[in-house]
Chain A
Amino acid sequence: MRRLLLMLLALLALCALALMRGQLALSPLQLWQGLSGAEGPAHLVLAVIRGPRVAAALGTGAALGLSGMLFQTLFRNPLAAPDLMGFTSGAGLAIVLAMTLGLGLPVPLVAALGGLIAAALVLLLAWKPGQALAPLVLVLVGLGVGFLTQAASSFLMTALPPEQAADAQRWLTGSLNARNWGHVALLAAGLAVLGLLALSQIRRLEALDLGEELAAGLGLHPGRARIAIAVTGVLLAALAVSVAGPLPFVALMAGPLGARLLGRTALAPRMAAAALTGAMIVVAADLLARATIPGLSLPAGVVTGLLGAPYLLWRLSREMKKGEL
């Protein structure tokens, strides 16, 4: 519990820093005044620009972290994250497709549909009758589906008019630019529902962790439990994508890093740790993206890409030493 509290404090400090930094730097005092509602430029910046932006970063990170942790536990493989397995790019493709066709559907719905279709496609292609699903096959097939959906997204973007294409491009890289309180409300509502769903799956996950046969012996229907967990995970990822685009590698990093920071193995605290770590990663990445180079605001996805790729390489070399690859 103490470590979780420490992580929460670290996250709060990070958020405060993120709120203070930017084109108009605020002092801690100004931050306090702005937050407590005193009228002035600080309040305006916080209420209209940085507040929703940081809050959106928090929510997206938490959703991605939770989603990654669910899949990694479900498949018992640290590489089984929704971004590596192509689910987030599936959600991204669906959004670009809706843009191109001019469909007026709500973005989260479209993203959820895209994510679910991509996940179903990955499972279908990786599945072979009479054989258990090997996580590595899943990851490899997921990569393939990811490549395909990314190619389809680029293809569709060619058909969009230039301004819209630029929009879609920024969006597909993953960015928290110009998020508003509407996005934050969506995230909060989605996280509340899906977070509860995830929590309710803990007992099932624990049973599945003991192996398929034992889980069945404990009175669980392994197939159904898996589907319920996977759907929750995909919906969490899609929620994040519908607000910030497919930020690469956050879901991959958050679970294992959170577990390491936490130093314990019980599932419920690990879930919380994954969500907190995911939030920390995205808030930090967004802060780096807009405050490192003066006068230039990068998409946050570029930063998570730069952070996540070395992590993946390190992870690979570790998995290899354990002889699992």
Chain B
Amino acid sequence: MLETRDLTLGYDRRPVLERLSLQIPEGRVTAILGPNGCGKSTLLKALARLSAPQAGAVLLAGEPLGQYDSRALARRLAILPQSPVAPEGITVRDLVRRGRIPWRGLLGPWRDSDEAACREALAAVALEDLATRPLAALSGGQRQRAWIALVLAQTPRHLLLDEPTTFLDLVHQIEVLRLLQRLNRDRGLTVVSVLHDLSLAARFSDHLILLGPDGLVAEGAPSAVLTPDTLHAAFGLSALVHPDPVSGTPMVIPC
């Protein structure tokens, strides 16, 4: 279980989020939503120990993240940052292999288990056929799937993604969100991602965390979190919320 306890985050002396206590439901898909600058990414980074809390703690299985050895943590929890850097000319397979770095020791021979994890990760994102291609030759959606395969190769139980659908067109956004949902259903992965599109987030998540300018607005099931009142509190937006005719999940209609 990944949870925060009285977590205060921020840069310099100005806290972005204060005394936040949240529980990320185990084995579910969670989306963090909110307007720009409300601390979505900051929260996600704190969940992955990429930024240190000003106060409070993030706990994994009851232990503060600070207590974990960084490689041991990387084997249980993976994060895909918003804009990772692709080394020039790298192939998809070589990129995915780098996900095994936390599993390799100082001398780090390449083991069968490493190979298996990479093969499985590539299969999960359906990129086996493109494994030998250079990353740069792939389409935007395929490239994002290759990056997801890298973090999958870490064989984590928790997968954190910072805006995994930004810069993708709608079809590829849905492709990535479906993939994350399938990874959750098939393997029981706990998925946490920062998303922008409210209706898509509601459609593909089990649990939403809605942040506003003054911190947490609401959390819980999509239909409970996305209401005209919460949307107004978080975004200052007047909107109607209707059930999606296909899935029945809440759909936000600005007015």
Query: In the complex they form, do A and B come into direct contact, defined as C-beta atoms under 8 angstroms apart?
Result: no
**Residues on B facing A (Cβ under 8 Å):** none
**Residues on A facing B (Cβ under 8 Å):** none
